[in-house]
Structure 1
Amino acid sequence: MSSTPTLAMWKFASCDGCQLTLLDCEDELLTLAAQIRIATFLEASSDISPGPYDVSLVEGSISTAADVRRIKLIREQSNVLVAIGACATAGGIQALRNFADSDEFTSVVYARPDYIDTLTTSTPASAHVTVDYQLNGCPIDRGQLLDTLAALLVGRKPALPAKTVCTECKLRGVTCVAVADGIPCLGPVTHAGCGALCPSYHRGCYGCFGPAAAPNTAALIPLLRRDGMSNSAVEQVFSTFNVTRFAAERNDG
């Protein structure tokens, strides 16, 4: 890296929530800003500095041909590229169109669909370029983001968790809502990183951090049904922020 590392934040199809997570760091952001030069971050400033960039954070899914060209250019200009959030790592909730007729959606929503230039699918950055690290979540976890940036600043590989939400519940001493209360919970198949936020407030995990490595959804689905979820509700809970990743992992046996 250069003597003063440069950080760039890039937005594609998204709600901006993951960018706001960085802004919400407040005091930590001031400390971070003293160590780096924020070259591009349109959520915070209209200034755009030319690359190359030491670290680029990418939020949002690739949804247009222009997006494809732009993510490739960003990759060429970035030493390290980090995809942040469910849109950038899985295509986001807008990837529901991957399983339907995109032209039909466009014709229903827009008065002049012929003006719309879009791809038929919504895909993560990794479908088009090499991504060095991924931060899951909708939105991402601020602590995980700060730890990742701090690691990259000192040239260390970020320590991203490979466990499940269930593990985080045990580490926090949170009583299992599925076992104790029969609340449907996706914790056993969901990637860690949120700090078991939902179970700590006595609600089931709904998978916003995406599937864990080799999730056993075939074993979990009967338990979700046992705890009161209908077949349609089961389908819906797997068809949200990370629909493409859960669809790839689903195996109902």
Structure 2
Amino acid sequence: MGAREPARPRLGVFKFASCDGCQLTLLDCEDELLALAARVDVTHFLEASSAVGTGPYDLSLVEGSVTTAEDAERIRSVRAASRRLVTIGACATAGGVQALRNFADVEEFREVVYARPEYVETLATSTPIAAHVPVDLELQGCPIDRGQLLEVITAYLAGRRPDVPRHSVCFACKRRGIPCVTVTRGTPCLGPVTHAGCGALCPAYGRGCYGCFGPSASVNLPAMIPLLRSDGMSDEDVLRLLRTFNAAKFAALEDGGASAEAPS
């Protein structure tokens, strides 16, 4: 008898509170997805297949934030069954847009949005996966970048550390030869404090960065916020700009030392 082929690494993809956009990024890999499917056993991925596999998983990709008590329990089960766990997207890494509830009264939201709010069970906050279980890598973005996702998966298959840039969007603008929209147009831009990964998409079209990829590795909000004000933004405008896709992460940075300069 011939030698048995070695078992392929098992991949699990899981969804929590999110819009599914980051899972769709994986499906949008198209040609690369075919090559990937030949290298891994996609054991659990409900966005792509109704087949429900069980762990253990060599690599788990988790999209979405924790917004219910059931979510908090389920992510612990996923972590226990996963050799490596990578969170993908702003919801999983920062609580997402739904983390705006963290700065308001969730009961008021529930009363306004739902016709029968008594049937809706939810936590008062939306929190990232890392607030509940250890995470091996956070892949930021809203949605994530397809190239970065493929790098993470192939790196773990090859047994090496993924090479994901930690610099800011400003570096991407320089590399692409994009003029600084703040200097040339006076346009407010979060590029100096935002993680690279989008390819400087908005500045390439003359728009300021909205912070879709969350804070970069080195962030100086006490210096950034006065610059935004000097570009004509009110305190309310600055607050709204910071509290969008990655509201909780930027707020944590404010609490960690920028609160004196942040609008109240």
Q: TM-score, normalised by structure 1?
A: 0.96
Please name the residue that 1:51 is paired with. 55
In structure 1, C-alpha distance between the alignment counterparts of 2:132 and 2:177, rounded to whole Å: 40
Match of 2:31 in 1: 27
Show the 5 A alignment for 1:199-210: 199-210=203-214
| Shift >4 Å, 4+ stretches | none
1:160 aligns with 2:164: yes
Tell me the amino acid that sits aligned with residue 10 of structure 1.
F
Instruction: State whether residues 9 and 41 of structure 1, in contact with CA within 8 Å, keep that contact through their aligned partners in structure 2.
Output: yes
Contact map agreement 1:190 1:207 (CA 8 A) in 2? yes
Residue 62 of structure 2 aligns to a residue whose secondary structure is strand
SS in 2 for 1:79: strand
Measure how far apart 1:88 and its partner are: 0.2
- Percent identical pairs in the alignment equals 63
The correspondence for 1:127, drawn from 128, 131, 134, is: 131
Aligned-pair RMSD on alpha carbons? 1.2
- Residues in 1 aligned to 2:138 and 2:150: alpha-carbon distance in whole angstroms: 13
In the alignment, which residue of structure 1 is the partner of 2:195? 191
**CA displacement, residues 125-176 of structure 1 (integer Å, 9 cap, x when unaligned):** 0010000001000000000000111101111111121111111111222211
Distance in 1 of aligned mates of 2:218 and 2:252: 11
Structure 2 residue identity aligned to 1:189: V
2: distance between equivalents of 1:30 and 1:230? Answer: 49
Partner secondary structure for residue 119 of structure 1: coil
Q: What letter matches 1:249 in structure 2? A: L
For 1:102, the equivalent position in structure 2 comes to: 106
Residue aligned with 2:93, SS: helix
What TM-score do the two structures reach when normalised by structure 2? 0.92
Q: Which amino acid aligns with 1:234?
A: V
SS in 2 for 1:167: helix
> How far off is 1:213 after superposition?
2.5
* Partner residue, 1:221: 225
Cα contact 1:214–1:249 (8 A) shared by 2 = no
Supply the distance in 2 between the matched residues of 1:110 and 1:196 (Cα, whole angstroms).
38
